[in-house]
Amino acid sequence: MKNTFIKRLGAIFVLLSLITSIGGWAQGKSISINKVIGKVDNYYILLSDLEELILQYQQQNQPAPNRCQAMESLVVRKMLLAKAEIDSVEVEDKIVDSQINSRMEYMAKRFGSEKNIVEAYGKSIETLKAELRGQIKEEMVSEKMQGKITEAIKVTPNEVRKFFNSIPKDSLPYIPAEVEIGQIVRFAKVTKAQKEELRNRLLEYKGRVEKGEDFASLASAYSEDIGSAQQGGSLGFAKRGDMVADFEGAALKLKPNEISEPIESEFGLHLIQLLETRGAEYHARHILLRPDYNRMDLSEPKHILDSLYKLMTTDSLKFEKIAKTWSEDKGTADAGGLIKDNQTGASRLALDASMDYSLYMMLDTMKVGKISLPMNYRTDDGKTAMRIIYYKSRIEPHTASLKEDFEKMTNIVLANKKTKAVDEWFKKAVSDVFIKVDPEYNSCKIFGINQEDN
């Protein structure tokens, strides 16, 4: 194995991070070429995959990889999938379904509505979700495999200090302004009228089944859980505790083949049929109907946030404590409301164009330490909500220092250690899988080896 293998891996994982974006079809451009240009065990690489990866770079205004770099990154991804299969690393279908729905809700927000998405691509939402499913599952499995490889990696304060001290003083980076921001989020509630409407539709489906229609056919036609709808509403066997409590509690009260009354959970309203129990596992199917987020009731969130705002501004109650107790945003509540960088997990966010524009403009008018009035908010996955913003701190532009940027330096050291661990894994894994690329790419010497030698 040549030394170039090690040197390339850092760049490869930058490419992999882009592969796990929404995908070329979601950028509004089609990729029609579908030639097989590589194979890793039972996983194929298509020319369309390579073209799509390069296109993603171009659309994000980043220097695009050459074709050899793109091919190598795709081979890496397929290697992760192949090894994940060997090591029985899997991602549950319900988690994949949740990710699909989140991405489609994000697209609906970006396009203005699902109707606009359908008009833009000339395909139904169901068809687009089906096309996205395989890609998302591959992404999530490969990410889980990477996590397994690096899960034991830790960083000590001494390692961080040693790394920082190794940087020449005249080479220390200049850090732009950064901020720490907290939020308390309350989601809009389904109106009574909407609940009644969805409940009546589910009762209608239940009545049709009782009169002889097939539950699976109705689930395929009407359920808004697209993943299970393709399987006639089946969720497969689940262990106790796998499903949300409301769903599981209702399912386990049923006898085999019995159908529940409409049940509400955080995902919407369900009509559940228990099919079979097997020890501590059970097999159910459902029809899910979701509320229209544009018609939801904000009166309760506003009332709660108004009360919290008054408490925090008059009684000096700590924002972090209130956020942990009252915020409904699971991603930030446990951290005392702090909004963290999705990629690094850092609590300090760059105060620049990468920030949500409305949040950027709000901070421009706020003072550090202040709390905003409750305001309307649309989450990244399209949900209607209200939130209070806490401007916790601002770090002015400066030359990097160990004291000010310890978290940032820790993330760099951690990333370096993970890359090294993955280097070693790939050197071993490359001999465990079959790799073949189209002769056109033989000159690329994937991982520094000729294909004839593999």
- Could you tell me which residues come within 8 angstroms of residue 187 by beta carbon, excluding any fewer than 6 positions away? 301, 328, 383, 384, 385
Pairing of strands 234-239, 281-289: antiparallel
Q: What is the pLDDT of residue 60?
A: 64
User: pTM for the complete prediction?
Assistant: 0.59
pLDDT in tens, 220-265: 999 988 778 878 999 888 888 778 889 999 999 999 999 999 999 8
Which pLDDT score, from 0 to 100, does residue 386 have? 94
Question: Which pLDDT tens digit goes with each residue over 116-131?
Answer: 788 777 877 777 887 7
Count of Cβ atoms closer than 10 Å to residue 265 Cβ: 17
pLDDT for position 208: 95
3-state SS string for 361-417: HHHHHCCCCCECCCEEEECCCCCEEEEEEEEEEEECCEECCCCCCHHHHHHHHHHHH
Domains of the chain: 4-154+409-453 (1.10.4030.10), 177-189+296-396 (3.10.50.40), 192-292 (3.10.50.40)
The pLDDT of residue 217 is: 94
**Residues pairing with 384 in the sheet:** 378
**CB 123, CB 382: distance < 8 Å:** no
pLDDT score, position 178? 93
Q: Which pLDDT belongs to residue 218?
A: 95
Residues 133-139: contacts with CB within 8 Å, 24+ apart? 133/96, 133/100, 133/227, 135/23, 136/96, 136/99, 136/100, 136/103, 137/91, 137/96, 138/77, 138/81, 139/19, 139/20
pLDDT in tens for each of the 454 residues of the chain? 334 333 444 444 444 444 444 444 444 444 445 788 888 888 888 888 888 888 877 766 677 788 888 888 888 888 888 888 888 888 887 788 778 877 777 777 677 777 778 877 787 777 788 778 888 888 889 889 988 989 999 999 999 999 999 999 999 989 999 999 999 999 988 888 889 999 999 999 999 999 999 999 999 999 988 778 878 999 888 888 778 889 999 999 999 999 999 999 878 899 999 999 988 889 999 999 988 877 788 999 999 999 999 989 877 678 999 999 999 998 899 999 999 987 777 889 988 877 888 888 899 899 999 999 999 988 876 678 999 999 999 999 999 999 889 988 998 999 899 888 887 887 787 777 888 888 888 888 665 554 444 4
The pLDDT, as a whole number, for residue 61 is 65
Residue 370: the pLDDT is 93
Q: Looking at residue 338, what DSSP letter applies?
A: B
